[in-house]
């Protein structure tokens, strides 16, 4: 199953694009049967230590299975909130939150004089009776980390993203 965004979806400006001048941009998409208002609660509850990321739980949720239902205790999310990206570290800050339309996270990490920055946007578009979920990941690495990071980050994030979209398609 492929989750390739259309040429138009890859080319269009999405919520959060302005947050980061990126070296790397990936856009994926999936059509879901639920309306945006039915998809939104699944997105809002994402995160390690929350409902999970719906991807490979052993890697991104400490082995705890991602939620198979909407969890009321994780429906409160606000701009400025910081959620755990994975076991052992990494935080994502909510920088844009438009209910039933867009959720955008941003992170920046500095280690040993190198910088990694990322924005991760989840954009919902009505599509008939369902929803088109477009997900854009934008990343930037400082040198000398850049080339090596691209070789590792792009395929790993792509695998995780595809698994996440497949899970959301199954759940919603």
Distance CA 34, CA 129 (A): 7
Residues 77, 43 contacting (CB under 8 angstroms): no
**Per-residue confidence (pLDDT) for residue 146, from 0 to 100:** 61
Give the position of tokens 């302005």. Answer: 18
Q: What is the Cα 34 distance to its own chain's centre?
A: 19
Q: What is the pLDDT of residue 3?
A: 84
pLDDT of res. 87: 81
- pLDDT at residue 23, as a whole number: 83
**Residue from 122, 75, 130 nearest 98 by CA:** 122
Tell me what pLDDT residue 148 has. Answer: 67
pLDDT for 113 equals 66
Segments of the chain with pLDDT less than 50? none
Helix (H) or strand (E) holding 149: helix 145-171
3-state DSSP assignment of residue 75: coil
For tokens 């009776």, name the residue: 129
CB 133 within 8 A of CB 15: no
């Amino acid at each position: 199953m492929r989750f390739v965004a259309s040429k138009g979806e890859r080319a269009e400006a999405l919520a959060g694009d302005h947050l980061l001048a990126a070296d790397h941009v990936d856009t994926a998409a999936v059509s879901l049967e639920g309306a945006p208002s039915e998809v939104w609660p699944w997105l809002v509850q994402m995160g390690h230590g929350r409902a999970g990321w719906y991807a490979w739980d052993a890697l991104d949720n400490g082995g705890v299975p991602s939620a198979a239902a909407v969890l009321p205790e994780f429906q409160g999310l606000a701009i400025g909130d910081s959620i755990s990206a994975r076991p052992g570290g990494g935080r994502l800050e909510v920088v844009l939150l438009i209910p039933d339309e867009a959720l955008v996270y941003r992170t920046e990490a500095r280690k040993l004089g190198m910088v990694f920055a990322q924005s991760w946007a989840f954009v919902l578009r009505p599509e008939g009776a369902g929803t088109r979920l477009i997900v854009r990941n934008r990343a930037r690495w400082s040198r000398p980390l850049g080339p090596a990071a691209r070789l590792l980050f792009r395929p790993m994030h792509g695998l995780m993203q595809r698994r996440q979209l497949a899970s959301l398609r199954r759940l919603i």
